[in-house]
Structure 1
Amino acid sequence: MREFSSSDIDFQKGEGLVPVIVQDANTQVVLMLGYMDEAAVDKTLIEKRVTFFSRSKNRLWTKGESSGNFLELVDLQLDCDQDTLLALVVPKGPTCHKGTDTCFGTENKGSFIPYLEKVIQNRRDNPNDESYTSSLFKKGINKVAQKVGEEAVELVIEAKDDDKNLFLNEAADLMYHYLVLLAAKGYTWEEVMAILRERHK
C-alpha cells in the first residue's frame, strides 16, 4: 500500500471532500465513485474497509454497513494533483445498492488471468496437500516444465481436428500450466505482457 496520510491530500479544492474512484483490484473494473473527507480516509486506512463521507446523510458511511457488501481495501492511491483517490478493493458482493456489480450497471468481469495467477501463487506460498497446483510445485521445476510440454503437444494434436470443446479445453490446460511454470520460476504474467507491449511499439 502506498505510503501517505490524510494530511497529504488537498481537501480544499472540494470544500473538504475528494472524489474516490473505486476499482476492483483483481478485475480492474471500475465499481463506483464516492467521496471522502479526512476522517473517512483515516478510517479507511485503519480498518482496511472503504468508508465514504455521505453527502446525502451528512456523515461517515462504511460501504456495506447495512448490506454486508463491504469493499475490502487492497491499496489506496493519491493522484498527481493530490486531490483524487483511487481505491483498489475486493468487493464482498454487489457494489451498487440496486444489486448490480457496479454503480454503472456493468458486470464486474475483467481479465480472469490476474486472479488465477494470484490463486496459483497462493498455492505456491501456502501449500495445501489437497491441491493439485501445490503438488506440482512440490515435484519441482522439471515436472512443472514437463507438464507444460505435454499440454502443448496435446493442444497441437487437437488443433488438427475440428472438436472445438476438446481444443479449447486443451488450450485452457496449457494456459494454466504455463502460469504455474511462471510462478515456479518467480516471474509474473505482467512481465510477459510488458515484453509483448514493448515488441508492439
Structure 2
Amino acid sequence: MNTPDIKFDEKGLAPAIVQDAVSKEVLTLAYMNEESLRKSIETRETWFYSRSRQELWHKGATSGNTQKIVDLKYDCDKDAILVLVEPAGPACHTGNYTCFNDSLLGEAATEVTSDRFAILNELEKVIAEREAEMPEGAYTTYLFDQGVDKILKKVGEEASEVIIAAKNRSHEELKWEAADLIYHLLVLLREQKLPLDDVLSVLQKRR
C-alpha cells in the first residue's frame, strides 16, 4: 500500500478507525497524516497524529497499550482508513477497552434482538474487554493471567463435564456444562487471537 493513495484533507489528515481484529469491536477514532501512516506500515504498530498537540504519537509508547496491526484498509473514496489491530491493552485513555461506551439511544440500544446468537457476539466482546482491561477479581482476568495451560485445562475439564452430563441424560446439567464449555472455548480463541468468525467460516464451508 502506498501512502499517496490516501486522500488527506486540507490539514493533511485522514480519519483512522481502529477495530479489534478478533472481536470486531470498534476501539477508537484517531487521525493519521502521511508520516504516521508510513510509520504504521513500517512498524506494524499504530501511529497517529495528535490534533491537540500537533505531533506524531505512537499508541502505547508510554502506557504499554500498543496495537499490533493486522491489516490496513481504506474506503472507496480513499479518504478514511480502517486499522485492524490486536490490542495489548485498553484503547481508551480512561482505561476502557474501547472509547465507544455510551449510547445516544440509552436503554433502547440494549433491548434483546431477534438474533438468538447475539449472546455469542456479546460474550466475545466482554472477553476481549477483560483481556484488555484485566479488572481485578474477574474470573476471565484470572484465566488470562494464568496463561494458556490453565485455559486449556479448563477447556478439557468442561468438555469432560459435558460428556458426563450427556451420559447422565440430564438436560438441566448438560445446558450448564455446555455453556461453561462454550465460554472457556471463547477465552481460548481470544488467547490464540483467532476470531470466532474464522471458526464460523469453516462451518459454512463444510456445509
TM range (shorter): 0.5 to 0.7
Provide the C-alpha distance between the structure 1 equivalents of 2:169 and 2:178, rounded to a whole number of angstroms: 6
Provide closer, same or farther for how the CA distance between residues 65 and 168 of structure 1 changes in structure 2, counting only shifts above 3 A. closer
Conservation of the 8 A alpha-carbon contact between 1:27 and 1:108: no
CA deviations 1:68-118 (Å, max 9, x no partner) are: 111111111111111100000111111111111111237994397xxxxxx
Question: What residue in structure 1 maps to residue 199 of structure 2?
Answer: 189
- Find the aligned partners of 2:36 and 2:97 in 1 and give their Cα distance: 23
Structure 2 counterpart of 1:82, from 78, 81, 88: 78
Q: For residue 144 of structure 2, what is the aligned residue in structure 1? A: none
Q: Give the counterpart letter for 1:162 in structure 2.
A: E
Deviation at 1:19, TM superposition (A): 0.3
Equivalent position of 2:4 in the other structure: 7
Identity %: 36
Q: Shift of residue 157 of structure 1? A: 3.7
Gaps of 5+ in 2: 103-121, 128-148, 153-158, 190-197
* Residue 45 to residue 74, structure 1, CA distance change in 2 (3 Å): same
2: distance between equivalents of 1:110 and 1:24?
Answer: 10
Count of equivalent residues = 151
Distance change >3 Å, CA 71–CA 153, structure 1 → 2: closer
Match of 2:20 in 1: 24
Unaligned runs of 5+ in 1: 113-129, 134-147, 180-187
- Partner of 2:96: helix, strand, or coil? coil
Pair 1:8–1:104, CA change in 2 (3 A): same
Paired position in structure 2 for 1:34: 30
Please tell me whether residue 58 in structure 1 is matched to residue 54 in structure 2: yes
The TM-score, its normalising length taken from structure 1, stands at: 0.60
Q: Is the 8 A contact 2:161 2:177 kept in 1?
A: no
Bigger radius of gyration among the two: 1
Distance 2:80 2:41 in 1: 15
Distance in structure 1 (CA, Å) of the matches to 2:123 and 2:51: 26
Do 2:162 and 2:177's aligned partners in 1 also have CA atoms closer than 8 Å?
Answer: no
